[in-house]
Every structure is written in structure tokens, then in C-alpha cells.
């Protein structure tokens, strides 16, 4: 199963090598790795060139920003499974093999997220946190972030959702994509770490002066306005019962016989069966 990975980069010389190696060193045999550099002047291009034998395509030239770079990169891919990893973030040694197994064994699953994790500037894993999200959590305001570094999806879902990122959103194009995915399929949560976000001073989210949050508000308002009355009533119920406490909300919804639509599909490894299962 071919997996297409895109890394957009601009002046990340201090981190991009670790990112590239975290993908390439996994040794996944059907990796299709594309790197789109925005015309870096800090030596990043030298690092990319040193790894070009393991890349399906790379280019360094000015572009219109992060979403445009990603669209350019995905246009050079053909894999059945897709993801991107930014040029300071990291995969784990087992990531691609695990993702391939899951999608091969669970054909009903269209997109997944691993357990969110964070690294520091020295590649040290500092935080792993459980977090579940479905469309009603988003509508209720309980969970508005989905860790992009841990998300993988089928190309068929990408095409259904429009086949690209909306370049009009400079920061929250990923959140826009997740909302479009939700229109077609539930997000399934894998009970292992797959990708980690690196916390450092030069990360993109810190340079937007609150722009990411403002774009998310715009997207969420647009998404909510497109929902039917039933979905909005369910979201209001979750918000009223839970107030952010999902366990309490789940117990209350279970007693009311409403739990099935509030479940968060989870993918776990069944050691007896030696395969991944969805529950």
C-alpha cells in the first residue's frame, strides 16, 4: 500500500533534517515522499539535496504559503494513503507500517488520528495526551483541534472532500480540511502515537498573531450553519450535559439511550487475533 507523505518547508534548517530522517529511516518500502521548499536561504536546501535519493520529488522555489505548498506537493503524489508532516515535526519509527496495516485491515475506515504527542526542540518526547473527537464534539465546542501530525487518510476521501486545501486560509487550512472530511466519514482514533508536534519558537502557529483561532472561528461558524437541526440539537445537548466533561456526558447520554451517535470510534490492536480492530 503506497503512502504519500508531503513535507512543506521554509527556512527550517535546524529541524528539517530530523523531520526527513524520521520519515525516511522507517524504511517503509512503498513510501512516496515529496518535499516542497519555499525558497529557503538558510541552508535547508543543502539538507534536502542530501536526502534526494529517498525522495519521489522535491523543489525549492517561492510559493504562496503553507496551503499552496501542500497542494503543490500532493499534486505530485499517487499513493492510496496520504498525510503531511511539517518541517520541524516528527514521525515515530513504526508510523507508516502501522498506518498501512490499519487501512489494509479496516477497509471501512477512511481517516485516522493517533494519540497526540509533543516534542521539544531537542527531539525529546515531552507530552502524550489522550484526546477524542467526533463531529458533535466540534459542534459543541468541546474539541476544536485535531493534531495534524497524527492524521492519515485515504485518497478517495481527499477527492470526495474537494481534492485540496483551501489556500484562502493562511493558518487553519488543516481545520477546514478536517471539517470537510467530517461531512463524509467519522474520525477514527488509533490507540498509539503516530506523529508528534515540535514545540519551538519558530513554529508557524506562533507567527499568526491569533490568526489561526480567528480562521477557526470563521470555519466553525460556516460549518455549523450548514448542519441540520438534528445535529445542532445533539451538539447543544452535549454542551449542556458535559460542559467539557466527556465521561460525565457519555454516562448521561448512555442512560438516555443516545450514546451510539456520541461514540468515538477507536482502533486498537487485538493481540490474540494479531490484527487491528475497530470498536
Are 72 and 64 within 8 A, CB to CB? no
Residue 144 Cα distances to 134, 141, 216, angstroms: 10, 6, 8
Task: Give residue 206's pLDDT.
Answer: 47
CA dist 257 and 66 (Å) reads 44
**Confidence tier at 236 by pLDDT (50, 70, 90):** confident
Q: Which domains does the chain have, with CATH numbers?
A: 3-278 (3.90.550.10)
In what order do the strands lie in the sheet containing 117-119? 90-91, 195-198, 117-119, 125-128
Average pLDDT over residues 247-271: 77
Predicted model pTM: 0.92
Check pLDDT > 60 for residue 243: no
**Confidence tier at 241 by pLDDT (50, 70, 90):** confident
In this structure, the number of other CB atoms found within 10 A of the CB of residue 123 comes to 12
pLDDT digit string (tens) for 176-228?
999 999 999 999 999 999 999 999 776 555 455 799 999 999 999 999 999 99
pLDDT digit string (tens) for 105-164?
999 999 999 999 999 999 999 999 988 889 988 998 876 679 999 999 999 999 999 999
Check pLDDT > 90 for residue 233: no
Per the prediction, the chain carries an average pLDDT of: 92
Three-state secondary structure of the chain: CCEEEEEEECCCCCCHHHHHHHHHCCCCCCEEEEEEECCCCCCHHHHHHHCHHHCCEEEECCCCCHHHHHHHHHCCCCCCEEEECCCCCEECCCHHHHHHHHHHHCCCCCEEECCCEEECCCCCEEEECCCCCCHHHHHHCCCCCCCHHHEEEEHHHHHHCCCCCCCCCCCCHHHHHHHHHHCCCCCEEECCCCEEEECCCCCHHHHCCCHHHHHHHHHHHHHHHCCCHHHHHHHHHHHHHHCCCHHHHHHHHHHCCCHHHHCCCEEEEECCCCEEEEC
Percent of the chain whose predicted confidence (pLDDT) is above 70? 91
Check pLDDT > 90 for residue 81: yes
Amino acid at each position: 500500500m503506497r503512502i504519500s507523505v508531503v513535507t512543506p518547508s521554509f527556512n527550517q534548517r535546524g529541524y528539517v533534517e530530523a523531520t526527513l530522517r524520521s520519515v525516511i529511516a522507517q524504511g517503509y518500502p512503498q513510501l512516496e515522499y515529496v518535499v516542497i521548499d519555499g525558497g529557503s536561504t538558510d541552508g535547508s536546501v543543502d539538507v534536502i539535496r542530501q536526502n534526494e535519493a529517498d525522495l519521489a520529488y522535491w523543489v525549492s522555489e517561492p510559493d504562496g504559503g503553507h496551503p499552496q505548498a501542500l497542494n503543490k506537493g500532493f499534486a505530485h503524489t499517487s499513493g492510496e494513503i496520504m498525510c503531511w508532516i511539517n518541517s520541524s515535526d516528527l514521525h515515530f519509527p513504526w508510523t507508516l507500517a502501522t498506518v498501512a496495516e490499519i487501512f489494509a485491515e479496516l477497509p471501512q475506515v477512511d481517516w485516522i488520528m493517533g494519540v497526540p504527542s509533543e516534542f521539544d526542540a531537542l527531539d525529546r518526547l515531552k507530552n502524550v495526551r489522550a484526546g477524542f473527537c467526533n463531529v458533535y464534539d466540534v459542534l459543541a465546542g468541546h474539541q476544536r483541534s485535531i493534531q495534524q501530525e497524527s492524521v492519515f487518510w485515504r485518497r478517495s476521501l481527499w477527492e470526495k472532500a474537494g481534492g485540496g486545501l483551501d489556500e484562502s486560509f493562511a493558518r487553519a487550512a488543516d481545520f477546514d480540511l478536517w471539517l470537510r472530511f467530517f461531512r463524509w466519514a467519522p474520525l477514527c482514533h488509533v490507540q498509539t502515537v503516530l506523529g508528534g508536534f515540535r514545540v519551538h519558537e519558530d513554529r508557524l502557529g506562533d507567527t499568526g498573531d491569533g490568526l489561526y483561532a480567528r480562521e477557526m472561528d470563521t470555519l466553525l461558524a460556516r460549518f455549523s450553519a450548514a448542519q441540520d437541526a438534528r445535529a445542532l440539537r445533539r451538539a447543544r445537548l452535549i454542551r449542556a450535559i458535559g460542559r467539557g466533561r466527556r465521561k460525565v456526558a457519555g454516562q448521561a447520554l448512555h442512560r438516555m439511550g443516545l450514546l451510539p451517535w456520541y461514540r468515538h470510534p477507536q482502533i486498537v490492536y487485538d493481540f490474540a487475533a494479531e490484527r487491528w480492530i475497530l470498536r
